[in-house]
């Protein structure tokens, strides 16, 4: 459970923070205010959503969503 929570956190936080930081840098170079930060957050959110979708899809393929019953044991 902790491993899955760590994966989900990393998949969500790294792209969003990376997009925001990249947006801040580009905004500083271009002299624009929140434009590239917002674009970076939007791209980071999209990447995070795709990452979570891929994580869920791999879990479904591995059978993690199947409920175990006493008959399976």
The tens place of each residue's pLDDT in the chain, 73 residues long, gives 788 899 999 999 999 999 999 999 999 999 998 999 999 999 999 999 999 999 999 888 887 766 655 555 5
What's the predicted TM-score (pTM) here? 0.77
pLDDT at 50: 96
Do residues 37 and 20 make contact, with C-beta atoms less than 8 angstroms apart?
yes
> What pLDDT does residue 7 have?
92
Question: Which tokens is 59 given?
Answer: 């879990």
Q: Give the distance between the most distant pair of CA atoms in the chain.
A: 65
> What pLDDT does residue 46 have?
97
Q: How far apart are CA 47 and CA 73, in angstroms?
A: 39
């Amino acid at each position: 459970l902790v491993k899955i929570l760590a994966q989900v956190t990393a998949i969500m936080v790294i792209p969003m923070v990376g997009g925001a930081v990249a947006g801040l840098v580009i905004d500083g170079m271009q002299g624009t205010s929140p434009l590239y930060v917002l674009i970076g957050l939007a791209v980071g959110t999209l990447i995070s959503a795709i990452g979570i979708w891929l994580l869920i899809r791999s879990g479904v393929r591995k059978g993690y969503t199947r409920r175990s019953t006493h008959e399976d044991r």
